[in-house]
Amino acid sequence: MSGSDERRSYLVECYWPGVTEQTLAVTVGQAQAAARALRREGRQITLVGTIFVPVDETVFCLFDGAEADVRAVSSQAGVPFERVLESLRIDGEQPEGGRK
């Protein structure tokens, strides 16, 4: 089994009543700043992206890093997360023949 400091992908699931695009943009900025601070300490943590589903008042944040760092960044940024789930990201399909 891998150590707890191994870099993996994690989905941070947030049920966030009343969240707006503006609030989320500020929080994403805070998460990016918190991740930068940890990287300055030698940690490998990246906020890959965020998905906002307004009708469900739900936000999903995708991170690459160690679970402890993902939780630390989310907490420092004020992300009201329900769960942090190890995940597998499969990028979209490239056009046949690649780029021309």
Q: What is the pLDDT of residues 56-96, one digit of tens each?
A: 999 999 999 999 999 999 999 999 999 999 999 887 876 66
- Which position has the token pair 């329900």? 82
Fold of 8-87: Alpha-Beta Plaits (3.30.70)
| Phi and psi angles of residue 56, each rounded to the nearest 5 degrees, phi first | -100, 0
Domain residue ranges of the chain, discontinuous segments joined by +: 8-87
pTM of structure = 0.83
Give the chain's mean pLDDT. Answer: 90
More confident residue, 52 or 7: 52
Tell me the residue type at 88: L
CA distance 55 to 34: 28
The better pLDDT of the pair 2, 31 is held by: 31
Query: What is the mean pLDDT of the segment spanning 35-44?
Result: 96
Q: Dihedral through CA 83, CA 84, CA 87, CA 92, nearest 10?
A: 80
CB 32 within 8 A of CB 47: yes
Q: Do the Cβ atoms of 29 and 55 come closer than 8 Å?
A: no
* pLDDT above 80: residue 100: no
In Å, how far from its chain's centre is CA 76?
13
**Could you read off the pLDDT of 13-30 as tens digits, one per residue?**
999 999 999 999 999 999
